[in-house]
Amino acid sequence: MTLPKEAELLGTNSGELELKGSGASTVVKLSTDGQRRVAALVGGPSAESSGGVYLGLEKVRGTFDAAVLNTYINLPEDARPADHRDLMTESVGLYGLRRASTLQGENKSPGLTFLLDITQILTELLTSKSLNSEEIRVTIVPDRPLPDSITIVVGRVSIFTTSSA
Amino acid sequence: MIYNAEDWARLRNAVFAVSLVAWVVILLEPRASACCAVNAAGVSWTVLLAAHPPASLAGNWALMLIAMMAPMLVAPIYHIRISSFARRRARSTMLFAAGYGTVWMVAGIVIVAVELIAAWRMPGSYLPATIVGLTAVLWQASPFKQRCLNRCHSHRPLAAFGFAADLDVFRFGLEQGLWCTASCWAAMLFPMLLPEAHFTAMAAVAILMFCERLDPPREPRWRWRGFGTAARSLSLRLRGPQRDPAPLTAVS
């Protein structure tokens, strides 16, 4: 078994992302080195040695535990998510969100953090040349529309990579 | 974001080494420590200030901070490292240290002033140290202390690009410094007011402050705190690996 080496940040969005109703989108801007590392997933000189690429949803906060968030990579604006299942990465359940969002609770810091493996989908998008190498659009869609009074906040959306030891 | 035990260990060892160097300097030259530097027996306030110029006091205070506080910064520095682009890590860490140090240096003006006044008005007396020691014990058990400790555990998302990233890590340093100062002010003041045994008191306070950061955040309320997690961890290490329970066997 190979253990992941040190993780490295490739890019982030510009601030907090508020999810209301049927979700929201943000753009993750990649650093110069991040663009090179992502491009190396397909046929680059270090393609074999590169590890996974992960989407990070950091410090997700809110008071609505009963939601499941579906995340999409490169979903076109105004497109129906149901028509682009191939662009969906993974789903995350927000069980424990309310408790994790309490500042003085038992949690080390407010919010939940999720890491989703997007290696496969990025590789496919790069192979089909349908991915902008500088920016990656990330769309987060609840499986059911959130009630009007509910807002879920994602502290930061980021993309990481690890290389195999 | 992605925890790596080896990376954590490397950072921890580097930070501990910095702290150790500061401790060695204090041990070899006790007057280099702020808490050991003031001797005011039988001198006037003017002479006292002349004998302890502000630059010297500030340098000594900074050395004391590095020795005592550095081990508590492993977690926030690791958070910065894994939240920043690789090329920005050193710069972000320096900006964080600058923010954190700024708060403690400002607090040091008050703390060192109290030390000077106590040494001037009651040279060689244990009364100031006793009063502050009792206050520190009360503060240690109070819910207000727990609120500060909980805030010290809070590591918010950081911007990654440009000036926003620099500003964010500096602000993060200010925040950590503020809650750390609020949490530790009484414990830091206590050894500085002791007429003797400064080094032993400093070491004891440093160990207490390090151990209390190992405890997870809790609901703020009155309770004794400080060595819970450290004692459990030490106990597990001393007992060594435990045997697995006997496997279940079928009963015929």
Residues of A in contact with B161 (CB under 8 A): 12, 14, 29, 31
Question: Cβ of A58 under 8 Å from any chain B Cβ?
Answer: yes
What ranges do the domains of chain A cover? 8-163
Q: How confident is the model at residue B4, as a pLDDT?
A: 80
Contact A12 B156 (CB under 8 A): no
Question: Cβ of A32 under 8 Å from any chain B Cβ?
Answer: no
Q: Is the pLDDT of residue A39 over 60?
A: yes
Share of chain A above pLDDT 90, in %: 58
A30-50: average pLDDT: 75
Q: pLDDT-derived band of residue B104, with 50, 70 and 90 as boundaries?
A: very high
Q: pLDDT-derived band of residue B22, with 50, 70 and 90 as boundaries?
A: very high
- The CATH T-level fold of domain A8-163 is Jelly Rolls (2.60.120)
Question: Cβ of A162 under 8 Å from any chain B Cβ?
Answer: yes
Higher pLDDT, B35 or A17: A17
How many other C-beta atoms are found inside a 10 Å radius of the C-beta of residue A31? 21
Q: Do A138 and A72 contact (CB within 8 A), yes or no?
A: yes
pLDDT tens digit string along A129-153?
888 878 999 999 999 999 999 999 9
Contact B160 A158 (CB under 8 A): yes
Q: How confident is the model at residue B119, as a pLDDT?
A: 86
The interface predicted TM-score of the complex, written ipTM, equals 0.81
B203-212: average pLDDT: 92
Question: Cβ of A156 under 8 Å from any chain B Cβ?
Answer: yes
Q: pLDDT-derived band of residue B242, with 50, 70 and 90 as boundaries?
A: low
By DSSP bridging, strand A68-73 and strand A88-93 are: antiparallel
How many other C-beta atoms are found inside a 10 Å radius of the C-beta of residue B13? 10
Contact B85 A107 (CB under 8 A): no
Q: How confident is the model at residue B34, as a pLDDT?
A: 58
Contact A104 B147 (CB under 8 A): yes
Q: How confident is the model at residue A158, as a pLDDT?
A: 95
Judged by average pLDDT, the poorest of A60-64, B120-124, B143-147 is B120-124
Contact B82 A9 (CB under 8 A): yes
Judged by average pLDDT, the poorest of A54-63, A97-106, B46-55 is A97-106
